[in-house]
């Protein structure tokens, strides 16, 4: 590297320029900084992808939970309707049986009166 005339320069800058290290040091520093920035950028990308993936996992879990709750509510409603229908059928059967017993007793009473 050609040496420059540093007679009117002072201090550490003069020493760096005289040894030819200043230009090389700056270029090396720039390259190192560039590599550091590349690595930092890649790390930031990886972090971003990881955060997106985690968000997708959380979203899927929330959707799954919501769907399970909805299916449970639908199932509960179906079972409640079925239980209500069965309860209605039982009430209807008990009422019908009670009516038949009453009619049978009334017929027996009427027969007894007719014979006596």
Residues 63-77 have pLDDT tens digits of 999 999 999 999 999
The CA distance from 61 to 28, in Å, is: 49
Is position 2 within any domain?
no
pLDDT at 104 (0 to 100): 96
Is position 18 within any domain?
yes
Read off the pTM: 0.45
Is position 5 within any domain?
no
Residue-wise pLDDT tens digits, 37-57:
999 999 999 999 999 999 999
Q: Count of domains in the chain?
A: 1
Is position 62 within any domain?
yes
Is position 3 within any domain?
no
- Show the domain range for 95: 11-115
Is position 24 within any domain?
yes
Question: Counting beta carbons within 10 angstroms of the beta carbon of residue 2, is it exposed (0 to 12), middle (13 to 18) or buried (19 or more)?
Answer: exposed
The CA distance from 97 to 110, in Å, is: 20
pLDDT at 19 (0 to 100): 56
pLDDT at 116 (0 to 100): 83
């Amino acid at each position: 590297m050609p040496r420059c005339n540093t007679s009117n320069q002072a201090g550490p800058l003069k020493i760096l320029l005289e040894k030819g290290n200043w230009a090389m040091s700056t270029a090396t520093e720039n390259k190192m900084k560039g590599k550091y920035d590349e690595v930092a950028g890649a790390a930031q990308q990886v972090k971003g992808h990881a955060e997106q993936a985690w968000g997708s996992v959380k979203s899927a879990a929330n959707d799954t939970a919501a769907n399970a709750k909805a299916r449970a509510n639908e199932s509960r409603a179906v079972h409640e309707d079925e239980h209500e229908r069965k309860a209605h059928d039982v009430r209807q059967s008990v009422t019908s049986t009670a009516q038949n017993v009453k009619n049978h007793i009334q017929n027996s009473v009427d027969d007894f009166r007719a014979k006596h």
